[in-house]
Amino acid sequence: MTNALQHAVRLFGVARQLAAHDALFPRELTDELPWSARTLRRLFALRLPSRRRRAELEGKSQGERLALALGRLGPTYIKLGQSLAARPDLVGESVATALSRLQDRLPPFATAEAQRIIADDLGRPLTTLFAQFEAEPVAAASMAQVHRAVTDDGRTVAVKVLRPGIEGAFRRDLQALAWAARWMERLIPAMRRLRPQEVIRTFAEVSALEMDLRLEAAAASELGHGLRQGGGLGVPLVDWHRTARRVLTIAWVDGIPVGDRTRLAAAGHDTKLLARNLIQSFLDQALGQGFFHGDLHQGNLFVIADGTIMAVDFGIMGRLDKAMRRFMAETLMGFITADYTRVARVHAEAGILPPEKSVDLFAQALRSIGEPILGRPTSEISIARLLQQLFMVTETFAMETQPQLLVLQKTMVVVEGVARTLDPEMNMWEISRPAVERWMTETFSPEHRLAEAADGVALLVRRLPWMFDRAETLARQVTEGGIRLHPDTARAIAAGQARAQRHLWWAVLLLGLAVLVAVVDGRL
């Protein structure tokens, strides 16, 4: 009861701040609001904008006012707003566009405090860690700030330091949001399709990664190891000896911001090639690795002298399991080839389209998305917009939100926007197709399927001793009376164990024959 009261008080404060920005029950929606919401709006009118605030909000759209309010509510809500930017199906396309411009910037905290955190977390005086440490931070965001430093062996590094007290503030805000999400699902059945609890849980997991900088370091290392050689995207090396929970040290990136097209051209870089490398590298990460950088905006990308795009800030990462990667690749390929029935069947096979919904009718809805896009000039074709519209169609067909796709869709919007600043005339389909086809070829090739089968059988073989041990234990318990079973049940269990073992050995034998045939055929 106490926790519920605390959550309610905290959320009431959030509501007051939203009301002060006319973002709780926006004036644009007054006629559409139910009587209860209109009554609440009148009650909150006591907290509607002051004269100075009204001047600040003059001419601002509903989404822009919401972005301002979330910015003033602090780090948790800034991050929440950025997450909602990927949900046009929930907040509307115009609001999502406004939230996508929400800036994650806060005033820096004291350098002395940053130095204390570094010394405490690394267990050594700052002077033994760095030969130089710049007092002024080079960047300050809601979660952390970054200082430039030089190590005792002469390497220039970027030192990221977590804001003091940020963990507790996020924990309290997230608990209140999770409490609200539970009640939303209970009281508003239509909200269950959007899975607000799952969305908040995903948001909490992403935030936890950002609040333990060792996890961010591991993410940078994992991404760097998985990048395709010659793909045009790189990751700075992590200095593990100067990294801890609240401190991350990586190699300093000395490059031109990817958004500065004039400087890039003056330095002799091919901006069209940079755009192609960025898009294809992102798709290789998402579809090939299933692990991708989830925050590839202009401020996190720099082009170094050899033309490599270096990514920084690995606090937001996305993961897609094999099934979801196959789903995304087949969906994109279906739109590329205008095979909407294929896309609809992929949704049905993945369990995303409810079984009672018509595949043919869904294919018709998909055609309404794909045909207008494919009929436009190639420079105007947007995969990000396609994904946005695809997710918005899900409401009509009562599909559940797929949380693991939210970060992918949000990042695709940002990556495509960055790429278009480099090459406004780029053809997204032409650039994307090689990466999608490469993944499809690798996934559905006989060699890949054979390797997957081998992995599955190898797992079964490793479990054989455990299975035999369990079978012997069960048989002993049955014979000794440890488990009271009807004789027919005991015989059925024993027969089932025998069949399972025979099937397992047949699987091993068939795998061996398949490998032998592949060797003879020259595949292995």
Q: Just list the catalytic residues.
A: 295
Neighbours of 230 (CB within 10 A): 7
* Rounded Cα–Cα distance for residues 492 and 481 (Å): 17
Burial 398-423 (b: 16+ CB within 10 A, else e): ebebbbebbbbbbbbbbbbbbbbebb
Q: In sequence order, what E strands does 88-143 have?
A: 130-133, 139-140
Cβ contact 293:342 at 8 Å:
no
- DSSP class of residue 238? B
Q: In the chain, count H helices and then E strands.
A: 23, 11
* Rounded Cα–Cα distance for residues 294 and 286 (Å): 10
Which alpha helices (DSSP H) does 188-270 contain, by range? 196-210, 213-226, 261-266
**For residue 15, what are the contacts with CB-CB under 8 A and spacing of at least 6?**
24, 44
Q: Which of 247, 174, 157, 249 is nearest to 211 (CA)?
A: 247
The count of residues in the chain is: 524
Cβ contact 85:96 at 8 Å:
yes
Burial 305-317 (b: 16+ CB within 10 A, else e): eeebbbbbbbbbb
* Rounded Cα–Cα distance for residues 368 and 2 (Å): 51
* Rounded Cα–Cα distance for residues 294 and 410 (Å): 8
* Rounded Cα–Cα distance for residues 317 and 475 (Å): 48
Distance from the Cα of residue 56 to its chain's centroid:
33
In angstroms and rounded to an integer, the radius of gyration of the C-alpha atoms of the chain is: 27
Cβ contact 423:275 at 8 Å:
yes
Cβ contact 170:76 at 8 Å:
yes
* Rounded Cα–Cα distance for residues 336 and 283 (Å): 15
Q: In sequence order, what E strands does 134-288 have?
A: 139-140, 144-151, 156-162, 233-234, 247-251, 256-257
Query: Would you state the structure tokens that stand for residue 166, as one six-digit string?
Result: 């940020």
